[in-house]
Structure 1
Amino acid sequence: METIKEMNIDVKHIATLTGHSGCVYGMDKGMSEHTVFTGGSDRFIALWNLETLQAEKFSASLPAPIYAICHIPEKNILLAGTTTGSIHILDLEKKEEIKILQHHIGPVFDIQYSIKTNCFYTAGGDGNFAVCDLDTMSLLKMKKLSQEKVRNIDFNDTTSEIAVALGDSNVLIFDLQTLDYKKDFIAHQLAEKIIGANTVRYSPDGKFLLTGGRDAHLNIWKVGNYELVKSIPAHNWAIYDIVFSPDGSLFATASRDKTIKIWDAKTYQILKRITKENFEAHTHSVNKLIWSSFHNYLVSAGDDRMVMVREVNKI
């Protein structure tokens, strides 16, 4: 039986934002701390204002469902990856599409960028991991990592590493600057059956890597040797996202089981379970999380077409 440690945080539902007509899969911070971009199966990108709790006068329509969104404020562009493998590059100042990349032949599940390398990185359902130049928006390198999906990407600025989660259960570690291979390990399995890794997230201090998989486990790995520190049966179904609070003291997990859970980042104790039974919550899979520094809002998006905003405070 899971032990709930209800003691030091308060979660308040602020708003449920409606407007999408399909599942919401992609989300990223907007042009300020109080805005977020969302996109999904309805092929639309929306911009939400967390201050007014309304949609901004911005929208973009793409020819295919959207799985991934990446806002690059330093370049004033927005990248959107679709189910057909296309990556659409939108100039936010001109409010127009400036380029389409088609180097993946499977869905684009994740897009991340690094100003340190001046590159952005894409994870494809075709098993490919791609690197593109942020100035020319052209493909620099393509790596075939798996016969399964490449699901998620995260950076460790402390150690200058990239972690990549694969659908074949492996997590691969590369050098950020050179992309040289450093380490790989089986991150998730169920009853000795290898099962997909869905998400990777480095702790803000760079000392630990958190992974979530189709086995519903949250695994914590020590950076360096990447030995398993702790394995927690965190959810009833697959974990789709992990996000840290702005001060790094908490993190949240999102799952296909319709729940969000908030955890102590030092002890890995669960502090709050957000479900339909005890909160206004998602009725379907929760796919994506953002933890904004604006009022410490935790924003979630899911298959129920909803974007939900909650304020999290320590008490």
Structure 2
Amino acid sequence: MIIEKIDTFGGHRDCVYALERGPQPNQVFSSGADGLVVRWQLDRPDLGELVAKVPASVYALALHPTTGLLWVGQNYEGLHLIDPVQKVEVSSLKLTSAAIFDIKFYKNDVIIALSDGVVVVVDSESLAIKKHLKASDQSARCLSVNPVEREVAVGYSDHGVRIFDLATYDLKRIIPAHTNSVFTVLYSPDFRFLLTAGRDAHLKVWDVEHEYALQQEVVAHMFAINHLTYNPTGTLFATASMDKSIKIWDAETYRLLKVVDRARHAGHGTSVNKLLWTDYHNQLLSASDDRTISVWKVA
């Protein structure tokens, strides 16, 4: 496997926390502690374009698949719905005074994870709040939707993962998953497995079809794992860590294939917060506390 750094996007004034794919394969959005929402062109890397600016940190971006609106979760204020083409705010929702850590869509619902432990379900058309899911007093950090089983997995700072029914939003299962905060949860592309990771630096794989039995556990990094993502074909996945490295893994065997770091690949000098593996020439993007976004070619 050959990893080549092909670009660095600079321009953010503070840590970059959020990456989201754009409406076109060659477009991505980023945001972070500076409140700037920027659109990048992967084929024209010098063309960073400011789409919006909000007054506080952004941890969560989500592009709605049908309306094309970019949902921006602003710290302590709520949600801003941005038209990225016109660069205007279409509407907003003063949802909470808590931080917004993740946003996911399922049918007409928007599922939002908050730092006060609440998961809010909002109707995407009317922006009316449908449900408050309060299953923990500690932060709901991350979400992953499984449309096959009609479930959503939520990772919490209380070390646990909870599985909710997407039809009723009833709590179906509590998994005592880790020994510290869970920062990232992700169903495999075939939805047979749930991958979880977080502050304890362990990667765990749960068998969805066998009542979420623990299938595999890997001591994957030296420090907290902030995020993980699959490549477009589902054959590989990548993890990003506070230890400043990105690691590439075989999706079937969970074997480590490559370590991407500063010494070997001119990687990030600080915590790697977010990953986005695009369809555009199989490019992998990584966002960091060092205020930059690196673009990697994986061959």
TM-score (norm 2): 0.97
The 8 Å contact of residues 51 and 87 in structure 2, kept in 1 or not, is answered as: no
The 8 Å contact of residues 38 and 52 in structure 2, kept in 1 or not, is answered as: yes
Q: Provide the residue aligned with 1:11 in structure 2.
A: 3
**Aligned with 1:244 (options 226, 230, 233):** 230
In structure 1, the gaps of 5 or more residues are: 1-8, 190-194
- Give yes or no for the alignment of 1:271 onto 2:257: yes
2:133, 2:165 → 1: CA distance? 14
2:266, 2:77 → 1: CA distance? 35
Partner SS for 1:22: coil
1:24, 1:271 → 2: CA distance? 26
Aligned length: 298
Partner SS for 1:136: coil
1:215, 1:139 → 2: CA distance? 34
The 8 Å contact of residues 30 and 38 in structure 2, kept in 1 or not, is answered as: yes
Which amino acid is the alignment partner of residue 203 of structure 2?
A: L
- Give yes or no for the alignment of 1:55 onto 2:47: yes
2:14, 2:110 → 1: CA distance? 27
TM-score (norm 1): 0.92
1:59, 1:24 → 2: CA distance? 15
Which amino acid is the alignment partner of residue 223 of structure 1?
A: V
Which amino acid is the alignment partner of residue 208 of structure 1?
A: F
Report 1:18-57 matches (<5 A).
Answer: 18-57=10-49
Q: Provide the residue aligned with 2:217 in structure 1.
A: 231
Question: Which string of whole-angstrom CA distances, capped at 9 and with x for unpartnered residues, describes residues 219-273 of structure 1?
Answer: 0110031111111110111111110000000000001111100000000000000
- Give yes or no for the alignment of 1:209 onto 2:194: yes
1:48, 1:247 → 2: CA distance? 23
Question: Which string of whole-angstrom CA distances, capped at 9 and with x for unpartnered residues, describes residues 104-160 of structure 1?
Answer: 22110111112xx31111110011100111111221111112111000000112212
The 8 Å contact of residues 46 and 55 in structure 1, kept in 2 or not, is answered as: no
The 8 Å contact of residues 25 and 40 in structure 1, kept in 2 or not, is answered as: yes
1:58, 1:168 → 2: CA distance? 36
Instruction: Report the RMSD for the aligned CA atoms in angstroms.
Output: 1.2
In structure 2, the gaps of 5 or more residues are: none
**Aligned with 2:151 (options 146, 157, 161):** 161
Report 1:1-315 matches (<5 A).
Answer: 9-114=1-106, 117-189=107-179, 195-224=180-209, 225-313=211-299
